[in-house]
Amino acid sequence: MTKAELIEQLQKGAGKELSKKELTALLDEVFVSIAKSVKKDKRFAYPGFGTFSLRKRAARVGRNPRTGVEIKIAASRTIAFKPAPNLKSSL
């Protein structure tokens, strides 16, 4: 599903009439808030949907698949998602 498709679904399901522009602004703010929460608190949980959490990846040695030369991959941070049990069982 694309962002445009999600906004259309929200517009159809909204109880009151909201413009696509208003829904886009609202959706953008929701994702900005989720990102800030994950960055600050290291997690964001939405009951019945799942939990976004900050994870650290250790530095490691990788290999260039084309040449076979070893390369160093630096440590990094990433976001992980764990679905809620209800969501997972419905898949």
Q: Quote the CA–CA distance of 14 and 34 in Å, as a whole number.
A: 21
Q: Looking at residue 77, what is its pLDDT?
A: 94
Domain ranges of the chain: 1-41, 43-91
What's the whole-number mean pLDDT along residues 59-70?
94
- Strand boundaries in 30-91, DSSP class E: 43-46, 50-57, 60-63, 70-73, 76-83
Whether the model pTM is above 0.75: no
Q: Looking at residue 66, what is its pLDDT?
A: 94
> Which class does domain 43-91 fall in?
few secondary structures
Neighbours of 41 (CB within 10 A): 11
Contact between 50 and 84 (Cβ < 8 Å): yes
The percentage of residues in the chain with a pLDDT greater than 90, rounded to a whole number, is 77
For tokens 């994950």, what's the residue?
A: 38
Taking 80 as the threshold, does the pLDDT of residue 46 lie above it?
yes
Amino acid (one-letter) located at 1: M
Residue 65 tokens read as 């698949």
The percentage of residues in the chain with a pLDDT greater than 70, rounded to a whole number, is 98
